[in-house]
Amino acid sequence: MEVRQTIVEAHNGQITCVTFNVMSQRLITGSEDHNIKLPTLFTGEVYVLFISLSMLVSGINNIAFFSSSLDGTIVAWSSMYKTSWEKKLNVPCSCLVWDKKRHHLAAGFKESVYLYRLTKNRLDSWGGDSGSELLEVVTIVRMSGEFVRCMLYHDNRIVTGSFDRSISIFDSSNGRRTLKISNAHKAAVSVMTADEDNNRFITGGFDKKVKIWNWDGTVVFEIGGFVDPISGICYNPITKTIWVGASSAAPQIFDPLTGINITEFVPGVIPKQQCVISSILFIPNTGEIVGTSTNNRGLIVWRHNPFSAVCTIKGSDSVVEALTYSSNRFGPQIFSGGADRTIHKWELLNETDIQAQERYRGHTDSVLCLEYYDTLDMLISGSSDKLIRLWTFAPLPRNDIDTRSSETSIDLTLPENEKLSKSTAAQVQKLGQNFLEKITGLGYKYVLPGHSDIITGLVAFRRPDGHFLISVSWDANIIIWDLNRDNNHAKKVIQDAHLDYITDVTYSPDRSEFGTCAVDGSVYIWSFGTKFEKLRTLVGHTAEVTSIKWNKERQQWMTASQDSTIRLWNGDGRCVKCIRCPTGVTSMCIEKNMGHALVACVDLVIRLYNLHNEDIIQENRGHSDVVTDMVWIEETNQFMTCSWDHTIRLWNGPTKRMLGQTSPDSNHLNSIAYDLNRSVSGNYSIQTENASPIYETGFSFAAERSKSTTFIGAPDVATVLKNIVTSQHSLRKKSMSQHTASLATLNLDTKNDAKPMKKAQLSSPNLFPPKAQTSKLPPIV
């Protein structure tokens, strides 16, 4: 959950109650200023509904549009927010609750609860005649000495909480009390809510306690530690958590099964404005949570973000600049570095848990770039201290250890009757020590001096002639290091490779070339061999190029820039696609499944772009400062990011369905239709009369007579088909078989429509023109 919107000074007095109007998708709030207002969730605009109540509004119900006040008035509102009915009871009404199954309204008073039945099925159907009543009393529940403070409906029960510290449960059909819990709290019961998932109810009191109850009246456990009385509570079924308001700067979030406070593990909950959270409401229709703030008489809206970070860890007490990732038989491992001059090692235990491991110190300034070279089990770091450090584990006698085994022990088999000699024992001890160093991260390091300014980029790779490292720096030089030799000396230095600071470097094993980019917007492609010549200049960016990658899936170069664009380049240096981002790009990596572009922008939003159609597959928000680096974890389909906000965050990648539906290489009609129009309703079946298949490999469209493809799409199927043809016309043409085919019938069978199947005739014999026809596409009839 994260803060979606904050509405300040929605009322001139303290907000006393809040609910949600399902029909108009509006909040309805009541206040001590005697007003009922309608804040709009999307725009934050506030409309005054009623301003003549003589006392503060104490309760609002959203289903039938009722409101109550401490002046003893119950008012019914029409769908146009006009007063349709009013009842004066001369007794202060403290709360209202609606039973949507029976269309009953329960009103809480001093020493009584009135149960009303709606005389009409709908409030709008009531004519408002002076001689007719909208509500009629079903029963009156007498409660001696009890002043009802809060209520809830659950199945056939009415639960009440009173100022006398008691909780009562009544049968809603006849008003008979089935249970009374005296002294449920040590002070008045202030709020209550139901936990549908665990079949319990939850109460909060002025005794600064929250209690979770079974329906038989037994306490499961209680939650304490609050500084102020409990003023708001709700159960969030989306995240399966309890949200509590107790005059704190943010709601307190608890696990309903254990009572553990998990607020610190839920990022984005604390509003940027200074707030004092009071009441809390969960909106089932939108999945949002609305809280009221007493200090600014405002509203805070939290929204569940399915693309929020799975896990957030504080990388250090300073900014985090670099990440790299290693996957070996010891499990996925993450390395981070930053301004604290330390390299931190993290272990990815599962898809949600990250555990801190070792720290590596040696640099005397900020660690700006990291590269893990799996082939040599080597961690490479570059720093503002102008040095490159190689962190390697102690070499293992691999003939003596089965590297495929998941065990951490060493088995030795000796011939019969042969004792373990001293030399053999020493050998075993050394072998075990080396193994221990491997799994614990202990090792030794080399230092590579050579640059005269900060190191900004590293890439290590293997070639037939050995292992190499390329480094770039703000000194505008490129250095190629030979990792095959013990002294790791420089193989080649390219002086003044760019006219400005070099920002990144990447290598293409498919072309035996490497690319560099710089602050002046220049991008160069170099040959790797004996001459190291500059082959091409990629011209197009107008600002600093922050990242360059080789996209193996597409066999193209990818660059990202502060000019708010991502560019794709063919091997010959021609720009084949330019994707415009909302703001400048600060970091980029490649999604491993389909080769899409994952970019972080200046607006702090992380976006995954479909490189085929430029659509945004998903957006992720959570960082509060510049995202400096990111890595994709292929094994778990996740990615990690680091930022100047001192955090490292783990995010879920897109599902296979999300990726499949945006892939032009997937020969499924359902993928294409869903991608063209994502408004989902109904099942469609497209069939062809011709036995020959229809193929257009440029867009991967396929349909056969013998197969019926069901897909999720929009009711306007002609538009979908037209989009398919238009899209294939814009894509490259590939050779296709000579054929004649037609789409004959389209069957519509919606789940929500009980009418017989409809058939729409679509005649288009030349929907997919033969290879020779490359001029204009025929119109859709």
Highest mean pLDDT among 97-106, 130-139, 583-592: 583-592
Q: Are 489 and 360 within one domain?
A: yes
Give the CATH number, domain containing residue 451: 2.130.10.10
The answer to the question of residue 729 being in a domain is yes
pLDDT value, residue 48: 53
> Is 672 in the same domain as 612?
no
Q: Which residues contact 425 (CB under 8 A, 6 or more apart)?
A: none
Mean pLDDT across 387-401: 62
Copy the structure tokens of residue 17. Answer: 């109650």
| Any domain includes 593 | yes
From 194-208, 316-330, 393-407, the region with the lowest mean pLDDT:
393-407
Q: How confident is the model at residue 194 (pLDDT cuts 50, 70, 90)?
A: very high
- Please tell me the predicted confidence (pLDDT) of residue 417: 46
> Is 366 a member of any domain?
yes
Q: Does one domain contain both 498 and 647? A: yes
User: Same domain, yes or no, for 492 and 626?
Assistant: yes
Task: Give the rounded percent of residues in the chain with a pLDDT score beyond 70.
Answer: 68
**Out of 49-53, 353-357, 547-551, 750-754, least confident range:** 750-754
User: 292 lies in a domain?
Assistant: no
604 and 693, same domain (yes or no): no
Q: Are residues 600 and 700 in the same domain?
A: no
Domain span including residue 557: 311-405+424-658
For residue 485, the surrounding DSSP H or E stretch is none
Q: 38 forms bridges with which residues in the sheet?
A: 47
Residue 544 resides in a domain? yes
Predicted model pTM? 0.57
The answer as to whether 183 is a domain residue is no
Mean pLDDT computed over 308-335: 81
450 in any annotated domain: yes
Q: Is the dihedral of CA 390, 394, 396, 402 positive or negative?
A: negative
pLDDT 10s digits, 418-467: 444 445 445 544 444 444 444 445 455 788 998 999 999 999 999 998 89
Number of helices (H), then strands (E), belonging to the chain: the values are 4, 59
Does one domain contain both 670 and 637? no
Q: Are residues 573 and 680 in the same domain?
A: no
Domain count across the chain:
2
Strands (E), 698-768: 701-703, 709-712, 743-749, 758-761
In terms of domains, do 613 and 692 share one? Answer: no
670 and 583, same domain (yes or no): no
Please say whether the beta carbons of 43 and 299 come within 8 A.
no
Q: What is the pLDDT of residue 271?
A: 74
Work out the angle at residue 769's Cα, subtended by the Cα atoms of residues 768 and 773, and round it to the nearest 5 degrees: 155
> DSSP string of 419-434?
---HHHHHHHHHHHHH
> Tokens representing 98?
């609606």
Identify the helix (H) or strand (E) that includes residue 598: strand 597-601
Three-state secondary-structure class, residue 443 = strand
Q: How confident is the model at residue 771 (pLDDT cuts 50, 70, 90)?
A: very low
Q: Give 257-292 pLDDT, tens digit per residue.
A: 888 898 877 767 777 667 788 888 888 877 888 888
- Asked if the model's pLDDT at residue 718 lies above 70, the reply is no
Do both 539 and 672 map to the same domain?
Answer: no
Regarding whether 650 and 549 lie in a shared domain, the answer is: yes
The confidence score (pLDDT) of residue 757 equals 35
The band of 768, judged by pLDDT with boundaries at 50, 70 and 90, is: very low
What average pLDDT does this structure show over 321-327? 89
> What is the tens place of the pLDDT at every residue in 142-165?
887 778 889 998 888 889 999 999
Query: How far is the first Cα of the chain from the last one, in angstroms, to the nearest whole number?
Result: 47
More confidently predicted of 365 and 774: 365
| For range 571-575, the mean pLDDT | 91
Question: Is 583 a member of any domain?
Answer: yes
